[in-house]
Amino acid sequence: MTARTPPDREAHVIDPRIEALYNVRRTVTPDVFDANMAAYRARSDDAVRGLAGHRDLVYDAASGQQLDVWAPGTAASPRPVFVVIHGGYWRALSRHDTAFMARALADHGIATVTVDYGLAPDTRLHEIVRQVRAAVAWVHRHGGAYGLDTGRIVVGGSSAGGHLTGAVMTPGWQEETGVPRDAVRAAMPISGLFDLRPLVHASPNEWLSLSPDDAAALSPALQPTVGSYLPPAVIAVAEHDGEGFLEQSRRFHETWSRRADAKLLTIPGRNHYDVFLDLADPSTDLFQALTGLFATTAGAAAAPAVRAGSAS
């Protein structure tokens, strides 16, 4: 008799109703998608050309993953820092596609840290979450040696990066990485997913291989928050986003705003892919909301600097 596959590892079955909510590629034409992917890299390259910074810093010895620091301050005058996490449905893109806001933020006295993480399917989502948390912990422990004000860390990201932003907004990981509960002083998830359970029955699970238990454990919206510090947040979403993303942003805002200062920001005229690029334009609502979050961190004490070059 052949052994039966455990129920949570059976063949992936797509529910067409759920797929329609979360297959966000269907919300734009192929040429629009391609143009935005090209814009991420081209605008990032333009933004960091000639900009002072530190490249290829290993933040996690176990995985070898790296980050870049752009437009830092000095030890005497460190700059607040935006830690930005790229999207790509956890399987595409990199930190090199996600620095397009660095020059505009530098003009406002803010540094940018762009973060890589291992990509699915070679890297499981549990490990991706661990890596991103390790990156934030590295910035908090070592950023002072690179001209960063580690008492003023704001984290943000789009799509998969929005989910991963949620994973560092929620409590429960800080103690094991050796950082205080308020290491993340504010957050901006953009077009994120906060309850991954529907994805078990959608095409992303072809590369995520999530069981129902995995999906629940990795969902920021399902994590306990009572009695914990929660950072203020702007939860942003594009007007023309996927319906699943719109609904999840609304629900996450409802949940977060019960315990912390939170604003739901729907960006008119934008889709799932071009909304992120608004962070490169100081005239946009998204950019102004981000700088507003930094204003809430003013007066926070920086953590002691750690010697540059240490990556653990």
Report yes or no: 85 and 115 within 8 Å, Cβ to Cβ. yes
pLDDT beyond 70 at 128: yes
The amino acid at 249: S
Q: What is the pLDDT of residue 305?
A: 39
Of the candidates 100, 106, 96, 94, the one whose C-alpha atom is nearest the C-alpha of residue 147 is 106
Q: What is the pLDDT of residue 226?
A: 86
Report yes or no: 88 and 160 within 8 Å, Cβ to Cβ. yes
Output the CA–CA distances (angstroms, integers) from residue 206 to 15, 127, 194, 209, in the order listed.
13, 17, 19, 6
Output the CA–CA distances (angstroms, integers) from residue 104 to 45, 113, 155, 253, 287, in the order listed.
13, 14, 16, 27, 9
Q: What is the mean pLDDT of the chain?
A: 93
pLDDT beyond 50 at 4: no
Q: Where are the domains of the chain?
A: 33-223+238-296
pLDDT beyond 90 at 7: no
Q: If you average pLDDT over residues 137-150, what whole number do you get?
A: 98
Q: For residue range 234-268, list pLDDT tens digits in order.
A: 999 999 999 999 999 999 999 999 999 999 999 99
Q: If you average pLDDT over residues 180-199, what whole number do you get?
A: 98
Of the candidates 144, 135, 122, the one whose C-alpha atom is nearest the C-alpha of residue 165 is 135
pLDDT tier, 299 (very low <50, low <70, confident <90, very high otherwise): confident
What are φ and ψ of residue 155, in 5° steps? -115, 140
CATH architecture for residues 33-223+238-296: 3-Layer(aba) Sandwich (3.40)
pLDDT beyond 80 at 6: no
pLDDT tier, 312 (very low <50, low <70, confident <90, very high otherwise): very low
What are φ and ψ of residue 283, in 5° steps? -85, -10
pLDDT beyond 90 at 300: no
Report yes or no: 73 and 65 within 8 Å, Cβ to Cβ. no
Report yes or no: 47 and 111 within 8 Å, Cβ to Cβ. no
pLDDT beyond 90 at 302: no
